[in-house]
Structure 1
């Protein structure tokens, strides 16, 4: 491809635009750009980046050469010669005399210099990507330090990427009185610092060049040699997969869990503070709420971080505490709690424990926990994971209040043994407000889960790979690429773990490769691509239609899109009326379970199926489209499913069946969706009851009509003539004797002539 000279107007692009009668603003609107930027392209000041080039080609139906679209800086897209340095400066310092002299001197020494000035010429949407490519290509970063650099966003981002890709930074201080007033607000570690405030004399330029040479050599010494990689390969270890995909880390995964040491320390200290405060005033509150957005790792940091820390003696005597299995509230939190307690109280029946918990005193949980405490002063720890389910899935307000009362009574009982730890999604933080006492305790005893910094994210990636039974390596800048996509992203941890799991599945021996990373769609595309490929690989179109039925059963749409959560469905919901469709639906579920996008388990003693993580709703476009199209139907369908389950659980009483408009709406919903066998039986029973009711009403009406008709006939008949003699009998009706007796004074007795 021929490159036009710099500053030459792009007549080809302008001609294609004018042929269509479009203004620069029209083109900008069609490609999502800015009219001034289009004008700069046509004047030859800048050229669009790769993404905008593609949009322009699609818009005009031409290729890049036909539109004169040539990238500004091919040196950022092709491997530079060695050595390569990125010259980072604020935009104000880019034209500084020393900066220009440095660039010229380094180029004269055979060093390839990529600069901030080149990056600034890219369009906004491509600027960060261009900076990433430049840092990846460089062996070192030469940072120009000045008062302008301290607040420069570009310099801050450059230092962040240097840390991401572990590129050493050499600083040249060119202006300013105090170092603290010039160096950017960043915790970057500098390889060396050179005071260049006296100007670009030859000895200074030579000093900088020598420093950069040493920095470049040092950066290469940190890269594993081919010999070292070969030695790892010769070990022939079959590596264990330490990455969890979309699943939360559990207590048994604590040896694979890294990156949250600081947060675990805070959680332990917060809990310890509460316990110490209780010694000063007996009625304390032994509660710790761990609050964070979806995908921040709340469950993992508690189950694989805090609980193992406590079990190992992280607090005085905590190694002897009793740790109950974690519970999720679900539809029946009392039932879930009873089953967890029953595992530690084998001498008590489940029914007896549940009755204790449902006792009006609300002291049942405290008393049961006290019986579990091995001796006075020991503790019983209960983890309520995904506590938002108490407000999204528990349907009975009475049961919800009972559960809350049990918790509050137990954690505030003076010298009581129970410690309650909750994990709560940040976007449901307002739900407990309806229960003021609970809300107050959560507000006073909570710890936020903030996004990980770069160091912790690197530990999440690299430390599990270095475990003795894992011994994985990363090709090239793979770790940096992973960090580049996830740093600063709220809720990105499940996406990172999923990507690492996919890379492990596609590894080359013991190396995670860049090729596999591109093939799976990188971090942002890996989950969506996996969902789509699993869907496309289903054996038939009927399977794919049933996939929609399956996933819609596993989503609670909430009242808003932000309130969308996962729904845990009973496996019985996968049993449809048609046995063939039931088999196909189960095959569909097994395919997504094998892909680790769905998970099975047990809650309150019942087998369930659920989506592995809420991230799938956000990332898989097809699933989001299904949800959008069915959002109005889902609440009623799920209510019907719950009502059918309750009807069956209570012995199928007629009083719980649908009637009237509710039954009519349920039948319409069933036509648009696919009811389970239990739901279909519930609807059939409702219809039978309605028909029986209609039949009884019709019978009563007929009886009423019949009775009304007979009465009318009697009313229409003339009254009998009591003085008419119709028989020769001596007595009885129609006899002369009866006529004489019944005749009124003055009346005439007559005889029937016949």
Structure 2
């Protein structure tokens, strides 16, 4: 019996493994048609969906059988696009040459492979490549282009532009380019030269549907004489992996482990149970893989993994894909490394090439069954509960057109500043901006409140001066006006006091540059409060004085009326008018007004007299 393992684990299938590659028949036909008819084809899909395996084990064997030769280009960070392509073409053009001759050939190609001159030499280079190619032409396979696009975006655009210029036909032979990439890298690859290629030559690859995944499980076993599953085991495995985002890699890990512990060429339920099922196997694999990381990566691992779970009620957690924009650069780098090891899954929000990249756990069971992750989640729980609430507040502020009323204030802002000081590296740029904008608005509102109070005080002072002239108003109306103004002033003062108290609570989190603003606001508030008290007391004193003057004027008016009525009565009786006395006549309380200049504060002496002219 052939003892070769038919399951690749986490390694991609190659052309040599084509006999064990199942479940992608429809995608193989579609990609084969695209590569055969288009100069450049880009296969885009999330990490772990099987892009490389599809091309290597599904498409390339068919193309080779049709007479096309194949070479592979793997871009390397730190190298220019010309250097990457020159090295790959040298392998095709200089077969059989020694290292020194190859180096010479590479240097010559470097001079030709300039993005600004490629159009003038593309036909010549294509013809040279096809001379060494198969009868039907040559295929240049560019694997994992997203890694180059991530580290060298400008060089990646240039590389794709160079490849697009080289691709084409020369007689009956053709030079074809096929590349794999994650959707998140497509935007980085767009340039004036490549925009048409990206819009027309990209084919998206989805994860395997359940029926196709079942075929990927059973097909390799059926292809090996004598190897078999115990009845029901494939269905049990598929039920356990469900629709988890990392199910394809997880299935390969499980199957490879089952094959290594097979009993008399049979993959058994007992072995699967001893492995802990799908959940136990993924936990064991992750735990076994962590020590392979560098120390710096292991130090970052807790920060990354706690972002991939959301705290629930009690001590529960649920899986939560983290947006790339929420993660610090070092966490994104770690996610890329872990994705290559299938410890996390890189995927995208809905939207095709424009969808935002996310990082997620490969299986929900890690949250429940991986002790190390559970401890990390407990350690970070308070912070993560707060952060999820902050993100909800941020989303609400964004969806409500950045309404200032949705910014943080008071105790919420104080806690946010405290968390920002404790976890500066775990708070995203958007979250940080939201917190700092809230702080600036809270600090500035103190000054605005003081200005508002000062304006109200000024208006109150004008109104109080008018009380002096309101002696004719009923007493209750004057008191109402005074009461309303005092209420307004006290309200404005209360706003200022509240803002200052909030500032005091925040002061422990404000930087040195914020201290003068707080001190200035407090001094301004003290001045405004003192002015408020002084204006209120002065206004009340003026009101009492004006009221007393008004009552005195009323008494004098009544005395004049009584005297006028008495003079009329005396005149009718034939008696002479009464002569005023300083001691007995109330009108003597003040000096008589000159006839030429009547006192504006006294009524005329004829008021109420029936004989007045």
Q: TM-score, normalised by structure 1?
A: 0.38
**Structure of higher RCO (CA pairs closer than 8 Å, 6+ residues apart):** 2
The answer to which structure has the higher helix fraction is 2
Structure with max Cα Rg: 2
